[in-house]
Chain A
Amino acid sequence: MTDATQTLAAETLATPAASALETMPLGRALNAGLRKAMQDDPRVLLLGEDIATLGGVFRVTEGLKAEFGVKRVIDTPLAESGIVGASIGLAMRGFRPVAEIQFDGFIFPGFDQITSQLAKLTARHEGSQAFPVVIRVPYGGHIGAVEHHQESPEAYFAHTPGLRLVSPSTPHDAYWMIQEAIKSDDPIMFFEPKSRYWPKGPVDFASAGVPLHASRVVRVGTEVTVVGHGAMVSVLLQAAEIAAEEGISIEVVDLRSLSPVDYGPLLESVRKTGRLVVAQEAPQNVSVGSEIAATVTEKAFYSLEAPVLRVSGYDTPFPPAKLESVFLPDADRVLEAVDRALAY
């Protein structure tokens, strides 16, 4: 199947100098972005489980230990709270730590240090100390893995004041957004859609970059807006392609930032189409999609022709891999919601 995300991403990029445009997987783009950030700022360092010698279980940090040494690419003991807590101390020392949590479902041993400490320390210090910590989290399904390896825990962190959450959907965005995240003086949760680590797409190394918190229309349409982030964006583009064959025009918005959400382009789109479907891999109850539905309803009520509809994972634990295709929203489930929205 044609990878719609990559095709469209290529089309929407400004025409770059040929030499600055390379095609690579998202995982490699992150690797390049991390390398660039480390070259640009000697205070940037990486820490996490298996990230140095092995290069990370997804090889995102491959080669960086050889280039920057063990003081800047640190294999830690196997303890997530320790990784986050030590990152906080390193930030107090003036470093810009980039911590890797190996898998989404393993972030919870570090939850207290993230939510009770990292998220609150800027406020506790009343401006005397910034906490430029990036926590990279490979997340989401579609990889057929065992329990705790396919989850989407964004909502816990989006609910927490003091954190910023972003998630790139393309190699180009990944390359630029990881650098922006590292430059930010605030704690950033950087959610990496792990099923998108491998498909290739263009990266324009000479572009003006990608802002950290900027949603973006990735496919123009007129009748229904669909919005999502991370791996869901490619599902939404597939759905839009199928709908187009049936004569339905869908506009696709890539959130890119989950906290804060950049509502400008989204509201503009909804005011044009009058209908919104929010899609996400996470369970629905008290989710980022629920927050978006409420906010869009408040801010664009008179433009809406239908209630904002959500397409989510079910409110169950992430199921065993043989059922993941049932759990994860696919193009058909998105289109079912699009049909319901159009029926109002």
Chain B
Amino acid sequence: MSSDAMGHGVRPTAESDPGAAPVQLLDTAGVLQVSDATAEFLPVIEALSDDTLRSFHRDMVLTRRFDDEAGNLQRQGQLALWVPSHGQEAAQVGSARATRPQDHLFPSYREHAVGMVRGIDPVDVVRLLRGNTHGGWDPAERQNFHLYTLVIGSQTLHATGYAMGVAIDGDYATGDPERDTAVITYFGDGATSQGDVNEAFIFAASFQTPQVFFLQNNQWAISVPVATQSRTPLYLRGTGFGIPSTQIDGNDVLASYAVTLRDMDAARAGGGPRFIEAMTYRIGAHTTSDDPTKYRTDDELQSWVARDPIVRFELFLRSRGESDAFFASIEEEANDLAEDVRKRTLALEKPDNDSMFRHVYSERHPRIDEQREWLSNYESSFGETS
């Protein structure tokens, strides 16, 4: 594929090269990597303000503390299920911070950090996993962070349809940074085996939609390793569909930020879809119903603990002179968040019966009317219930 077709000066050799190492800007010791391979990204990183860099750390720490607290709440019987994000914070925060207010984000169900960057109330995620709702928030009120989707990969087609709509509306490639819009969709390594994800690639490539496919390869689809999903590195799948693709170190928040920024900018500018494979690891279980000791080794786990995204970024910030006081203040904020989530979770009330019927359809429906009235009368027939 020519650089003209890809557009906007992106070097084709940096992408879709089977021999290329994943893009990494910070090594595990938090040292910024200066090399030919990172040269295109370093100006973007150097342009980040101290406050922005601090916000990356804050996003990751707050999400992890929330994640831990929600896991505890599940163990205490307060949630039906929890889906831990521990270990994937850098991939999520870096990519989410690369979006603009007008962009749209279509998550799977583990993107707690992405949601928090876009302003969701963590208790809304709790409500979903406590069994109070199937949704939780209005995407329009949460900076276009769409609802979690539990059927693996389905949301990639919704994202693609949305991006087709952006293109039809002409809200891309205008050069207006307030208007040009891109879509980013999140999915996992297991999802790459789903038909919907492959159809989404095909539609996106056919219509050259303004969107980024962001794959978090956390190595395990519940108990099935990524080798069972694919005999090629997953980012090369994108190449096969004609979508410029890049593999990154997903535990490096700066790599996630810089590559997503480049690709979202390219998509907004009319360069068509992009695919990012972020190599990361699910430190916790698939969900609280899972037991990862049955299928993976402690050695493997420890090798990824050593690549922890928050530790790495803290080392980087400290090397730039960030103070103990800053890290302590973020810890304190995280503890306050956890306490607030716990308190508000315990205060959540059961949804009313009528909510089951309320939004099945947007317009009146006789069968719904009949059944909600029947239930109401049935409940009333028992007299006062409380």
A interface residues (Cβ-Cβ under 8 A, vs B): 45, 71-72, 74, 76-77, 79, 81-82, 84-95, 97, 109, 112-113, 116-117, 120, 122-132, 161-162, 164, 184-186, 260
Contact of A93 among B162, B206, B361 (CB under 8 A): B162
Are the CB atoms of B203 and A126 closer together than 8 Å?
A: no
Are the CB atoms of B138 and A128 closer together than 8 Å?
A: yes
Count contacts between A and B, CB distance < 8 Å: 138
Can you spell out 23 A-B residue pairs with CB atoms less than 8 angstroms apart?
A45-B168, A76-B206, A77-B203, A81-B199, A89-B157, A89-B163, A91-B161, A93-B169, A112-B154, A116-B151, A120-B134, A123-B134, A123-B359, A126-B133, A126-B135, A126-B355, A128-B139, A128-B140, A129-B138, A129-B139, A129-B140, A186-B361, A260-B367
Q: Is B6 an interface residue (CB 8 A)?
A: no
Q: A76-B203, A128-B139 are in contact. Are A122 and B160 (CB under 8 A)?
A: no
Q: Which residues of B contact A260 (CB under 8 A)?
A: 365-367
Are the CB atoms of B154 and A85 closer together than 8 Å?
A: yes
Are the CB atoms of A89 and B161 closer together than 8 Å?
A: yes
Q: Which residues of A contact B161 (CB under 8 A)?
A: 85-93, 97
Q: Which residues of B contact A120 (CB under 8 A)?
A: 134
Are the CB atoms of B135 and A86 closer together than 8 Å?
A: no
Most buried by A among B162, B163, B361: B361
Q: Which residues of B contact A109 (CB under 8 A)?
A: 195
Contact of B168 among A71, A113, A162 (CB under 8 A): A71
Q: Which B332-358 residues have C-beta < 8 A from chain A?
A: 355, 358
Are the CB atoms of A92 and B147 closer together than 8 Å?
A: no
Are the CB atoms of A77 and B199 closer together than 8 Å?
A: yes
Q: How far is the CB of A330 from chain B (nearest CB, A)?
A: 32
Are the CB atoms of B202 and A79 closer together than 8 Å?
A: yes
Tell me if B's interface is mostly helix, strand, loop or mixed. Answer: helix
* A186→B359 CA distance, assembly (Å): 11
Q: A92-B162, A93-B169, A112-B154 are in contact. Are A125 and B202 (CB under 8 A)?
A: no
Q: Which residues of A contact B2 (CB under 8 A)?
A: none
Contacts A109-B195, A122-B359, A129-B138 aside, 6 further interface pairs with beta carbons under 8 A come to: A79-B202, A86-B160, A88-B158, A89-B162, A94-B165, A260-B366
* A85→B154 CA distance, assembly (Å): 7
* A45→B161 CA distance, assembly (Å): 12
Q: Which residues of A contact B363 (CB under 8 A)?
A: 184-186
* A260→B159 CA distance, assembly (Å): 30
Binary flags per residue of B195-217, CB closer than 8 Å to A gives 1, else 0 = 11001101100100000000000
Binary flags per residue of B150-182, CB closer than 8 Å to A gives 1, else 0 = 010010111111111110110000000000000
Contact of B159 among A74, A89, A130, A184 (CB under 8 A): A89
Q: Which residues of A contact B47 (CB under 8 A)?
A: none
Q: Is B362 an interface residue (CB 8 A)?
A: yes
Contact of B165 among A95, A124, A129 (CB under 8 A): A95
